[in-house]
Structure 1
Amino acid sequence: MFAVFDTLRKPLRLLILPFVAFALAACEPGLMTNTGSSKGPKVDTSKPIPVALLVPRGGSASDNLLAQELENAARLAIRDLAGVQIDLRVYGTGGSAALAATAASQAVNEGAQIIVGPLYGEAANAAGNAVAAQGVNVLSFSNNASIAGGNVFVMGQGFDDTSSRLVRFAKATGKDKILVLHSNDVAGQLGRNAIMNAIAQNGATSAGAVDYSLSQESVIAAVPRVKAAVEANGANAIFLTTSSASALPLFAQLLPEAGVLTTSTQYIGLTRWDIPAQTLALPGVQGGWFAMPDPSATAAFSQRYSAAYGKTPGPIAGLAFDGIAAVGALARSGKSNALSTANLTQGAGFRGANGVFRLKTDGTTEHGLAIATVRNNSVVIIDPAPQGFGGAGF
């Protein structure tokens, strides 16, 4: 049996997504009123554009490391902006919502015309509220969709984005009767809701849902319930919300042993099944699907970052690169309203560290994701990431 047994005996905090796991925070959406498409300060693109970068510097040691990686990536992006000058101003938030609000207000008072960051959901929510009245947009690194909207954008890859990409692919390949297997904590319920919404929006069929508590006993008890639901509802796919740090290793072993075979039932993961790498050796994930950023773009960014700073970037560093890339692309237009909500949400999107992405009018971000499978303990891309989006843009 996999070593996850000892972990599952204890209460677990299931993180939203391993690639931006720490971006989720328990907070209520702010009361944003800045929803007009014209919102955003006027800018003079012939001069350096003041951009505030809010990072969790001044917090824990891990926060300080994240802060440095985010700043490094932002400065790397600035090097690419031919014809555009960015006056980058870095503010530490200490990972605190209160300090993030103070930093955002200070940044705007000192002339910042857009804010890139902060990281955590509560901090992003607070920063957005602090500068909403001035019409300044916030491109946060969070993936917490509950804080998105108004002048706050969440740039992290979230459940809705991932679910939609995977369900579209499943529907197109005939795996359209989908059973959702989810934990009954907040993260599992959010994942379930995102998958169910994606099923409805993409014309697939729901084969129900099976939940479980975050304990070894509950996971084991869920297995016969999953098998019964697959047989009763004719499911040809199971969409799991769990990660390799939680119940995935146990389900990957027990479900096939119980007769829910991967040859007839497609396993789909809401999280990355290649992190950590040893997950790829689990028998139950062989042939499974998951979504990931464009591997070629990610590799190219990692190589450039490593060449510049002598180390490999962490999984969220690319979000700071993306924020600066978007600002630069818009500023290149020469328009005084370059940083308005309407321009930030232009349909063609932008090209960033992990491939193409576009900011949506609801404050979330759509990423150009690839569909991967696991074959012989290795990752194989079976549907490449798109290289662009439809719609007008720059």
Structure 2
Amino acid sequence: MFAVFKRARKATLAAAAALSALALAACDPATIGSGPTINTSKPVPVALLVPRGSAQQGDSVLAKSLENAARLAIADLDGVQIDLRVYDTAGTPEVASSAAQQALNDGARIILGPVYAEAANAAGIAARQRGVNVLAFSNNTAIAGGNVFILGPTFDNTARRLTKFAARNGKRNILIVGGNDAAGVAGRTAIQQAAAESGATITGSVGYELSQQGVINAIPTIRSEAAKADAVFLTSTTAGALPLLAQLMPEAGVDPAEKQYIGLTRWDIPSQTLSLPGVQGGWFALPDQSKVQQFSARYQATYGNAPHTIGSLAYDGIAAIGALVAAGKSDALTTAALTQGAGFQGAGGIFRLRPDGTNERGLAVATIQEQKVVVIDPAPSSFAGAGF
């Protein structure tokens, strides 16, 4: 357990440094633009930037999965022609910037990717100078804005879904429990903002250092603060503090039968998490599983293996571009078109891009009963009346 926290601390320190550096480039008001016009009677040039060539383990598999998913989406388009060109970024900002510039020189009218936040930010800066929008596969909201839109799932989106569901079900007094790292702080902020929008009340917030002893030291405070709440919202992941919290909190008297446990992250991955006593009856959000299964089955049948966890984001990007181009309008790839309120149908259900560069996804609320995932509030099929 301690080794996991030690690795997590190193990762979050690096993330915190990246966040502060990226915010400067991402929040410049001068970056806001409308995007290029296109000729919808001809194939639309789309650049796909993937982390092929990276030294990081698994990036070559991810790169291939993103390309495969994009081509699968192109095959699903009806009457829309996409000229997809793939560029390698090696997972670095420098190469990503050069790849974006090359793609623009080759005529790209929109860029899909890259994956990593700093690389996506660099590509966004290069594309901004040419008035082209970027749909990045990152979930880092620090780089969102101007001509950069992120496709990855965000804490804000999940927090809004779960706090509204909690408020509707009488769980209006919420205690936040999260790590004192960049991800924990971001999660805490997302929950606080979501609570303000949903009518829920944050009764308190308890932080902990990312170590086994840090979590143990926080338990008495969690127990004390939980007395004022009817729900405990946890920001931790299954690879981090969640397993330990799920054990220690019930043992300390924070009974999950009396205090609703809520998770900001997926509690069903890996499947071993489902056996933890503390997660039984807890709430968490996940994409429309029927859509996810359909996409996975088609991908498997086409390519002979399962898609990467985030490979479906490339499918979503092409699906959005195709839906807009199908309308036959020259402004299909402008900011106004990309941020249409109706949104798009993706591999995991409905989603839409927000003017601030972030996104909203139609999520289901699930619980764990007898070590199995049970959906208790289905994902919406449209944004009309979906409570977003």
- TM over 0.5, shorter chain: yes
Is there any run of 5+ residues in structure 2 with no aligned partner, and where? none
* Aligned partner letter, 2:373: V
Partner residue, 2:45: 50
Decide which of 126, 135, 138 is 1:139's aligned counterpart. Answer: 135
* Aligned partner letter, 1:104: A
Partner residue, 1:295: 289
Counterpart Cα distance in 1 of 2:35 and 2:31:
9
Check the 8 A contact 1:179/1:235 in 2, yes or no: yes
Structure 1 stretches of at least 4 aligned residues deviating more than 3 Å after TM superposition: 5-8, 13-16, 24-27
Q: Is 1:320 matched up with 2:314?
A: yes
* Aligned partner letter, 1:264: E
Check the 8 A contact 1:49/1:87 in 2, yes or no: yes
Check the 8 A contact 1:32/1:132 in 2, yes or no: no
Q: 1:306 aligns to what SS in structure 2? A: helix
Partner residue, 1:367: 361
Counterpart Cα distance in 2 of 1:377 and 1:208:
30
Q: How does 1:102-113 map to 2 (within 5 A)?
A: 102-113=98-109
Q: Is 1:273 matched up with 2:270?
A: no
- Superposition deviation, residue 41 in structure 1: 1.0
Q: How does 1:319-358 map to 2 (within 5 A)?
A: 319-358=313-352
Check the 8 A contact 2:61/2:308 in 1, yes or no: no
Q: Is 1:283 matched up with 2:277?
A: yes
Counterpart Cα distance in 2 of 1:227 and 1:133:
53
Percent identical among aligned pairs is 58
Q: 2:207 aligns to what SS in structure 1? A: strand
Counterpart Cα distance in 2 of 1:92 and 1:71:
11
Counterpart Cα distance in 1 of 2:11 and 2:373:
22
Partner residue, 2:377: 383
Q: 2:312 aligns to what SS in structure 1? A: helix
Is there any run of 5+ residues in structure 1 with no aligned partner, and where? 17-21
- Superposition deviation, residue 32 in structure 1: 5.5
- Superposition deviation, residue 98 in structure 1: 0.9
* Aligned partner letter, 2:81: Q
Q: Is 1:162 matched up with 2:182?
A: no
Partner residue, 1:237: 231
Partner residue, 2:81: 85
Structure 1 pair 56–223 and aligned structure 2 pair: CA distance change class (3 A):
same
Counterpart Cα distance in 2 of 1:387 and 1:198:
22
Structure 1 pair 212–253 and aligned structure 2 pair: CA distance change class (3 A):
same
Partner residue, 2:32: 35
Counterpart Cα distance in 2 of 1:5 and 1:346:
46
* Aligned partner letter, 1:236: D
- Superposition deviation, residue 94 in structure 1: 0.3
- Superposition deviation, residue 213 in structure 1: 0.2
Counterpart Cα distance in 1 of 2:274 and 2:30:
46
TM-score (norm. length: structure 1): 0.93
After superposition, give the CA deviation of every residue in 1:167-187 in whole Å (9 maximum; x if it has no partner): 010011011100000100111
Check the 8 A contact 1:32/1:129 in 2, yes or no: no
Structure 1 pair 118–11 and aligned structure 2 pair: CA distance change class (3 A):
closer
Q: Is 1:191 matched up with 2:192?
A: no
Check the 8 A contact 2:243/2:273 in 1, yes or no: yes
After superposition, give the CA deviation of every residue in 1:329-382 in whole Å (9 maximum; x if it has no partner): 000000011101000000000001110000000000100000010000000000
- Superposition deviation, residue 15 in structure 1: 7.1
Counterpart Cα distance in 2 of 1:364 and 1:79:
27
Structure 1 pair 298–247 and aligned structure 2 pair: CA distance change class (3 A):
same
Counterpart Cα distance in 1 of 2:2 and 2:105:
52
* Aligned partner letter, 1:156: G
- Superposition deviation, residue 14 in structure 1: 8.4
After superposition, give the CA deviation of every residue in 1:72-98 in whole Å (9 maximum; x if it has no partner): 000000001110000000000000101
Q: How does 1:185-264 map to 2 (within 5 A)?
A: 185-231=181-227, 234-264=228-258
Counterpart Cα distance in 2 of 1:292 and 1:315:
13
Q: 1:373 aligns to what SS in structure 2? A: strand
* Aligned partner letter, 2:51: P
TM-score (norm. length: structure 2): 0.94
Partner residue, 1:19: none
Q: 1:95 aligns to what SS in structure 2? A: coil
Structure 1 pair 95–296 and aligned structure 2 pair: CA distance change class (3 A):
same
* Aligned partner letter, 1:47: K
Q: Is 1:309 matched up with 2:328?
A: no
- Superposition deviation, residue 13 in structure 1: 3.7
Q: 2:205 aligns to what SS in structure 1? A: strand
Partner residue, 2:147: 151
Check the 8 A contact 2:47/2:111 in 1, yes or no: yes
